[in-house]
Amino acid sequence: MIKKSDYQIDGTSSEVARVVIYTTSYCPYCFRAKALLRSKNVEFEEIDVTDDPAQRAEMERLSARRTVPQIFIDTHPIGGYDEARRLDAIGELDRLLGRPPETG
């Protein structure tokens, strides 16, 4: 739950969101998702599930999805690359990351 005290006067978060992305080494959408996050200068933890069935099972349990990438912002699943791109297009990704919307 988001509390008002988590935000500055201008409506942006005063804390950096924790971002975790589950990937595989051969997934083109994983590369795109990481590129999107990097383009926004977002630090993230990458969990490669290529050869790790236990981590993949954990990803599936947390996200209720079997595909990669799976992106979590502050433990909340947002989906994969397509969902992240859609959120970015409407400025919602920046809000979830606790950043002011990009102008341009």
pLDDT, residue 104, reads 60
> In order of start, what are the domains of the chain with their CATH numbers?
16-96 (3.40.30.10)
pTM of the model: 0.83
The whole-angstrom separation of Cα 84 and Cα 36 is 8
The whole-angstrom separation of Cα 92 and Cα 98 is 10
The whole-angstrom separation of Cα 46 and Cα 56 is 13
Q: What is the pLDDT of residues 7-64, one digit of tens each?
A: 343 444 457 899 999 999 999 999 999 999 999 999 999 999 999 999 999 999 999 9
pLDDT, residue 3, reads 35
The whole-angstrom separation of Cα 59 and Cα 51 is 13
Angle between helices 81-89 and 28-39 (to 10 degrees): 30
